[in-house]
Amino acid sequence: MYDYDLLVVGSANADLVIRVERRPAAGETVLGSDLAVHPGGKGANQAVAAGRLGARTALLARVGDDGHGRLLLDSQRAAGVDTVGVLVGGAPTGIALITVDPSGDNSIVVSPGANGRLTPEDVRAAGSLFHASRVVSAQLEIPLDTVVEVVRNLAAGSRFVLNPSPPRPLPAEVLAACDPLIVNEHEARVIVGTALGDSPEDWAAALLALGPRSVVITLGADGALVAERAGARVRIPSVKVEAVDTTGAGDAFTAALAWRLGRRESLAEAAAYAARVGAVAVTRPGAQESFPTAEEVAALSGVLPGDDPATTGRKGGSEGLAGEPLRGESR
Ligand code: RIB
């Protein structure tokens, strides 16, 4: 029996967000909205997303001993996340400078700050969290050495999910532990390091050849593709909604998928659920503030928790919704 459905090891940032009519090109200055400060960071976002869905979640991260660090801790606790693994001090809290355009797309620059001080030793010291967690997820806004140590500390029988964002080439030891590796096209190109081939099925084959047990490729308007080493390739349709802000939607997708895998759903089932979570997230501004509860996800598909679609007549799944889907670069 595990104490946690999901342990997230990753970054926590204060997101400094400005809405702009157009994201600036090189050498260009544009005027934007008033500044908004939100709790963010790919790791902290995943933990809040899972906690809000009802997953028993813990976060292993590092924040500064400052106001941004307190903002992040408050947000985790409000979502029911166990912050026993959140270390404080060593550097200022990480910062993400984010511009969001009217289509909801964003550009992000991250100053890692304390995230860069989350060390392999911190991972080793958190051994009890690893032993208590059914699924462990990570991203790449913390040092790669730390992610390597994460895979070395996985408990027997636990499952590892990696979103390699921002992407970089990965050691074979990390790739071999991924089940799944979750990437968009850009991340896939960086991980594979050579020409990708024409179709997402080709990309999945190239990624699987590097060692992960399974792969999820997010395809924006075209949904996602899931592929297992020994299984079929399954296309997951996108969920049509009106996008307001894609920030953090990829993190919500990853967290939801990781949680549902821990509930023994198939990769395709978990990805279909995660697509609905990401779709709700893009309809609202900000990252963590935009993440839905399980009830809100159910409402999107017209099925409430506990309902049997066969008897209510309500329509489940992702068909028949209009608007903008989960976007590929929404992290
Ligand atoms: O994935 C979105 C996140 O990326 C933002 O919250 C920002 O902090 C950056 O880490």
Q: How do the domains of the chain map onto residue ranges?
A: 4-23+34-322
The closest residue, in CA terms, to atom 8 on ligand 1 is 41
Per-residue pLDDT for the chain (331 aa), expressed as one digit of tens each? 789 999 999 999 999 999 999 999 999 999 999 999 999 999 999 999 999 999 999 999 999 999 999 999 999 999 999 999 999 999 999 999 999 999 888 999 999 999 999 999 999 999 999 999 999 999 999 999 999 999 999 999 999 999 999 999 999 999 999 999 999 999 999 999 988 888 999 999 999 999 999 999 999 888 999 999 988 899 999 888 998 988 999 999 999 999 999 999 999 999 999 999 999 999 998 899 999 999 999 998 654 444 443 333 323 232 222 223 333 333 4
The neighbour count for residue 199, using CB atoms within 10 Å, is 11
Nearest CA among 330, 283, 287 for reference residue 37: 287
Dihedral, 221, 15, 253, 283 alpha carbons, nearest 10: -50
Q: Which of 63, 72, 75, 110 best tests ligand 1's pocket when mutated (most atoms within 8 Å of CB)?
A: 110
Q: At what angle do helices 42-53 and 267-282 cross, to 10 degrees?
A: 100
Tokens found for residue 318: 């992702």
User: How remote is the CA of residue 331 from the centroid of ligand 1, in Å?
Assistant: 6
CB 204 within 8 A of CB 187: no
By alpha-carbon position, which residue is closest to atom 7 of ligand 1? 41
The CB-based long-range contact list for 296-302 (8 Å cut-off, 24+ gap) reads 297/53, 297/256, 297/273, 300/239, 300/241, 300/276, 301/276
- Cα 162 to chain centroid, rounded: 9
The pairing of strands 86-88 and 13-19 is unpaired
Locate the ligand 1 atom nearest the alpha carbon of residue 38 and give its number. 6
Q: Which of 187, 146, 192 is nearest to 167 (CA)?
A: 187
Gap between the Cα atoms of 155 and 45, Å rounded: 23
Separation of CA 149 and ligand 1 centre (Å): 23
**Which residues line ligand 1 at a C-beta cut-off of 6 Å?**
11, 13, 15, 40-42, 45, 96, 108, 110, 141, 247-248, 250-251, 287, 331
Say which CATH architecture domain 4-23+34-322 belongs to: 3-Layer(aba) Sandwich (3.40)
pTM here is 0.90
Enumerate helices (H) and strands (E) in the chain, giving the number of each.
12, 13
Contact 61, 44 (CB under 8 A): yes
241 within 8 A of 321, measured Cβ to Cβ: yes
Helix (H) or strand (E) holding 207: helix 200-208
- Closest by CA to 278, choosing from 301, 249, 302, is 249
